[in-house]
């Protein structure tokens, strides 16, 4: 019997080797056929593993690491052995090298090269890897640089003690050690072709096929309306080394409670609530919508999601609501909102024992997340007339609270019930030098410190900046990036990809070129006449209106783009976007999606310039994480 099993195993092994040889031959043929094509077509699907240093792809880890050792002087297995790296250390090593290569920096000596080709020419044998091990102590290298980097899930099978690792696998310990892993898009620096003919043809969302990945969990956790189990399928679609994939798949789900505790805990600070209530644009918009639309509020059942101090609930009660259900996840603020309702005679007693002759009101405060509301109070489905919430974050979608509001809408709002606000729109425009810190550093008490300003602008291109932009500093028109109908939108439409076309402003340019240093995003929310029939209103965070606590979200280009009107006499030989050939239009493709890091968002920015004579130039995509 044992002999037969051995024969069967040997036959299977030989068949597998033959299949692998056939796969290698197919790969070589496909590479030969496709090497001159611009994007390689669809024949690279089976080549999972991308080289750490170049664009070569391989069907196995061994082949890739042999290539890295022989071509790029990087001996992955040798370094692992020399440094005694475990799975996590090896995971970090891959991400460390990829991050250095993305920055055109030598992973071994740290020398910065001018181009990717210069880096290829510079690579050399490592003289001392001990310094590298010190760098690997930084947990930031647990964050994969590439989305779905197959290499991270497969090298574990090459460990000499693989069997031992499999038998002693402790998922809880791994989750604890990993913390929160954020999977970002790989910004390779390749130019992105934006087709001008199809640019504005279709504005539907494309994030599922585009730039940003969502959080994942193997436990099917739903939080903020987001199903954290759905992304695991993308991991499990690769059958190799499923156990290694579990290391990543469970991380975000395990981390959600910790993030939520910190998030709701931050709202226990009265300073935050003072800032929000003192924001006159914000508070007056809600006050007007609630108090000046009697046909909507009189006798209505209102749900306030994320009530904080309860200010919106107080407005609703004052306007004549028959019942106000105020939901607050912060334990401290739920107690504060309850006391405020009592102090103003608007709290609703739940039992006779709690009755108070001075508290005959309509407000009941529930301490819970809205997703867990059923565990705290019984509310009939579709029994709420009005759903009100001040859910907006920076760049509208930061904090991911909209998903919670949509969850409440779909569960408790009556058909045709009112959403306050009921619309939201994100706008985009280009800003000039005045929107940067350059003018400040150019003259500091009569001294030129512009070298600092240039470095500050370069650093700003790596992160989104929350700040106020003066409308005088805008050098393009404003365009609508994305609009949401909060009464009808689907929860997955929170993540989107959209395009916009910006044109240089002509009113103050006299057909001269000026520099566009980046784009600024802001939002409006509308309390429209659909529900607010007597007094519709708009809450705007625009540079053209008084400032709010949201400010604007600034995305700085790596390279300023020169812009001018279409009447500018451009030089045919100059690159588009330079002073000699400024762009008359800037084409944008922007993706915004919930990040793997809970309650954060990722923003992908793709930019192209079009000259007055129709020539086009694209710049490398930029990825911003708003945390």
**DSSP letter string over 390-410?**
---BTTBTTT--HHHHHHHHH
Cis peptide before 455 (omega within 30 of 0): no
Cα distance between residue 141 and residue 107, in whole Å: 13
Query: CB of 65 within 8 A of CB of 79?
Result: no
Q: Give the whole-angstrom CA distance, residue 613 versus residue 584.
A: 9
Query: DSSP alpha helices (H): ranges in 151-250?
Result: 162-167, 171-178, 232-236, 242-249
Helices (H), 48-114: 61-72, 76-83, 87-102
Number of Cβ within a 10 Å radius of residue 363: 27
At 615, list the tokens.
């020539």
Residue 556 and residue 596 in contact, taking contact as beta carbons nearer than 8 Å: no
Asked whether the beta carbons of 303 and 325 are under 8 A apart, the reply is: yes
Measured CA distances, 373 to 90, 123, 256, 370, 508 (Å): 43, 58, 18, 5, 54
Query: How many residues in the chain?
Result: 627
The tokens of 160 are what? 């000499």
Residues near 371 by Cβ (< 8 Å), separated by ≥ 6? Answer: 222, 223, 224, 225, 404, 407
Active site residue: 48, 185, 364, 399, which one? 399
Listing DSSP states for 115-149 in one string gives: SHHHHHHH----S--HHHHHHTT-GGGGS-SSTT-
Q: Is 413 helix (H, G, I), strand (E, B) or coil?
A: strand
Specify whether the CB–CB gap between 250 and 228 falls below 8 A.
no
Q: 399 catalytic, yes or no?
A: yes
Residue of 185, 364, 390, 606 with catalytic role: 390
Give CA–CA dist 569/613, Å, rounded.
9
Q: Respond yes or no: is residue 390 known to be catalytic.
A: yes
Judge whether 259 and 180 are in contact, CB under 8 Å: yes
Q: Which residues are catalytic?
A: 390, 399
């Amino acid at each position: 019997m044992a002999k037969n099993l051995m024969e069967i195993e040997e036959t299977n092994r030989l068949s597998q080797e033959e299949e692998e040889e056939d796969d290698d031959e197919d790969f070589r043929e496909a590479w030969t056929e496709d090497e001159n094509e611009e994007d390689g077509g669809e024949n690279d699907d089976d080549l999972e593993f991308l080289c750490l240093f170049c664009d070569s792809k391989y069907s196995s880890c061994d082949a890739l690491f042999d290539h890295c050792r022989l071509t790029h002087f990087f001996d992955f297995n040798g370094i692992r052995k020399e440094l005694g790296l475990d799975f996590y250390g090896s995971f970090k090593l891959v991400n460390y090298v990829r991050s250095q290569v993305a920055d055109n920096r030598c992973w071994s000596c740290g020398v910065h090269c001018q181009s990717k080709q210069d880096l290829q020419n510079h690579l050399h044998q490592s003289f001392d890897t001990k310094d590298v091990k010190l760098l690997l102590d930084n947990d930031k290298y647990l964050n994969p640089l590439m989305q779905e980097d197959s290499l991270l899930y497969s090298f574990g099978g090459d460990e000499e003690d693989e069997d031992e690792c499999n038998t002693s696998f402790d998922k809880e310990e791994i989750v604890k050690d990993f913390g929160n892993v954020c999977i970002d898009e790989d910004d390779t620096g390749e130019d992105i072709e934006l087709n001008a003919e199809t640019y504005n043809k279709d504005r539907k969302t494309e994030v599922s096929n585009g730039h940003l990945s969502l959080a994942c969990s193997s436990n099917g956790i739903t939080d903020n309306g987001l199903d954290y189990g759905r992304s695991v399928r993308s991991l499990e679609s690769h059958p190799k080394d499923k156990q290694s994939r579990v290391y990543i798949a469970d991380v975000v789900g395990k981390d959600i409670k910790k993030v939520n505790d910190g998030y709701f805990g931050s709202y226990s600070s009265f300073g935050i609530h003072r800032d929000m209530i003192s924001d006159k644009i914000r508070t007056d918009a809600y006050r007007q919508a609630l108090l000046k639309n009697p046909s909507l509020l009189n006798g209505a059942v209102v749900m306030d999601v994320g009530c904080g101090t309860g200010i919106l609930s107080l407005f609703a009660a004052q306007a004549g609501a028959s019942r106000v259900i105020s939901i607050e996840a912060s334990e401290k603020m739920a107690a504060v909102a309850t006391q405020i309702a009592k102090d103003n005679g608007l709290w609703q007693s739940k039992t006779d024992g709690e009755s108070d002759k001075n508290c005959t009101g309509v407000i009941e405060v529930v301490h819970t997340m809205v997703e867990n509301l059923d565990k705290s109070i019984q509310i009939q489905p579709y029994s709420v007339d009005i759903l009100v919430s001040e859910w907006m974050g920076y760049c509208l979608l930061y904090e991911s609270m909209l998903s919670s509001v949509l969850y409440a809408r779909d569960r408790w709002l009556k058909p045709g019930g009112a959403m306050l606000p009921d619309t939201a729109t994100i706008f985009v425009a280009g800003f000039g030098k005045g929107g940067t810190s350059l003018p400040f550093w150019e003259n500091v008490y009569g001294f030129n410190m512009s070298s600092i300003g240039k470095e500050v602008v370069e650093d700003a291109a790596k992160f989104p900046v929350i700040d106020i932009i003066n409308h005088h500093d805008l050098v393009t028109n404003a365009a609508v990036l994305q609009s949401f109908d909060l009464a009808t939108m689907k929860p997955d439409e929170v993540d989107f990809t959209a395009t916009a076309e910006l044109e240089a402003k002509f009113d103050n340019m006299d057909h001269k070129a000026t520099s566009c240093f980046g784009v600024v995003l802001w939002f409006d929310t509308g309390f429209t006449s659909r529900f607010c029939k007597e007094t519709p209103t708009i809450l705007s965070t625009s540079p053209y209106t008084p400032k709010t606590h949201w400010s604007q979200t600034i995305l700085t280009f790596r390279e300023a783009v020169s812009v001018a009107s279409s009447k500018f006499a451009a030089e045919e030989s100059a690159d588009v976007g330079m002073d000699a050939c400024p762009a008359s239009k800037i084409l944008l493709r922007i993706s915004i999606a919930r990040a793997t890091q809970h309650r954060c968002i990722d923003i992908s920015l793709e930019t192209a310039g079009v000259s007055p004579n129709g020539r086009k130039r694209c710049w490398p995509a930029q990825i911003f994480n708003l945390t």
